Structure 1
């Protein structure tokens, strides 16, 4: 699994790079990049990223827009000792899927960028993945932990499900928070206008006490 994610999978893409060639901002892997400290400034990472994922790509994007060239040097090697099994990486993918929403919020134009993941996957694909991956994951994890080489498309399918699971959860949570903020504003407006009963109904609806504010 680690060979897949390092060479051409969900974390790195070294198999697609040529020694001495320019690579895009999506290859700004802070686990394996070298540049003068003064280029980074005093706060290189955007604090809007609250969880793991995309904070280094965001930095690479901002630096590239300032004119930074990122060049791949195949002889410059870093030993990053971070053993993982497939289940660990699946959990990581959930976090990465959740964090990409922050990336799109900061840079809305990236939704159309072919270097970035698509904005969504077909609903049928996700339904099939949600049915299959819980059954596949224990078996694939067991085989991978015993260093059984599996087809890349199997790794891609399982890990993609983790990514989209995290992405969909984050979208639902964001939608819920937006609805809660809207309800709380409505409650505040009602109370300010002296209509306490309507405000109380909205609060009960917000917490599941009734089907709708007007019910």
Structure 2
């Protein structure tokens, strides 16, 4: 083998080693701004606003959240527990008609308990719980913040009972319901998707997999997934 060929091989090996080292360092590096934006969505914008527009500070904050809570694995719910949570949420919605503030208070308590049951920090550590939820359910966690803030805002009874107060509570509860549903179904979505992929492989079709990724809207009255058509006309004082 000529000297030129040997030198060429050495150069190639060195180049490959450098590329491998660069890729390894990149994989270990904290997520960049675009990755964080995709992961956190509106939560990214909220973090930037909290840091007075300083995107770098917000990204450091979000990166730390991922480091602290990114490895969390959500605990599946037992069927009996799932039914109890569904029944309690249905009661919250019914209670809102006569007592909006009490209903929102119960929703705040219920989501905190459900999050704890799924393996997130318990409701007694609310800020830590919300921080962990923002890593795994970033697009829906703001509704939980809103109901919690409404419960602990200390607004007087008159403000709570007037039209604007009731409407704000209704909007908070509607937004919080998205997180409730996400916590109730996240493990089911994962399991269902794996099952449909397997069935598609067995039958040679991917129709069931597409159904899992793009489900049809649930029919009114189906348990746990019926759309909440509640509107401002249903609540007293609105």
TM-score (norm 2): 0.25
Bigger Cα Rg: 2
Higher helix share: 2
TM-score after normalising by structure 1: 0.27
